[in-house]
């Protein structure tokens, strides 16, 4: 005979947490944009340290901004979209001069 599972009593906070979270699978586009966003964030984080080396940091800033835009666009985080566009314009002008 099988063992019976002990029923765990759920608290009020746990029930609200389960109610508030929607369990769903990510689409392929969302998975790719999340991975691109993480890679873009890594490029943006290492860019200040690479600026003294022949402006390599400016190129990694641009690459990081381009890679992270799809993630924040799909998440509808418009403030970060604007920040990344500002980063693209600013460092694009920096490299152009």
Asked if the model's pLDDT at residue 10 lies above 80, the reply is no
Contact 92, 84 (CB under 8 A): no
Q: Mean of the pLDDT values across residues 65-84?
A: 91
pLDDT value of position 60: 94
Structural domain that includes position 51: 27-96
Q: Is residue 5 part of a domain?
A: no
Q: Is residue 3 part of a domain?
A: no
Q: Is residue 1 part of a domain?
A: no
Q: Is residue 18 part of a domain?
A: no
Q: Please tell me whether residue 11 adopts helix, strand or coil conformation.
A: coil
Higher pLDDT, 72 or 17: 72
Model-level pTM? 0.70
Q: Is residue 72 part of a domain?
A: yes
- Tens digits of residue pLDDT in 77-94: 899 899 989 989 998 898
Asked if the model's pLDDT at residue 15 lies above 70, the reply is yes
Q: Is residue 9 part of a domain?
A: no
**Cα–Cα distance for residue pair 84/63, rounded to 1 Å:** 10
The structural domain count of the chain equals: 1
């Amino acid at each position: 005979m099988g063992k019976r599972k002990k029923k765990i009593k759920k608290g009020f906070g746990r029930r609200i947490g389960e109610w508030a979270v929607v369990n769903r699978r990510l689409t392929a586009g969302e998975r790719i944009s999340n991975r691109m966003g993480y890679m873009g964030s890594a490029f943006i984080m290492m860019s200040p340290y690479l600026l003294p080396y022949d402006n390599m940091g400016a190129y990694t800033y641009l690459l990081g901004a381009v890679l992270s835009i799809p993630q924040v666009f799909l998440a509808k985080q418009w403030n970060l979209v604007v920040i990344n566009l500002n980063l693209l314009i600013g460092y694009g002008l920096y490299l152009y001069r």
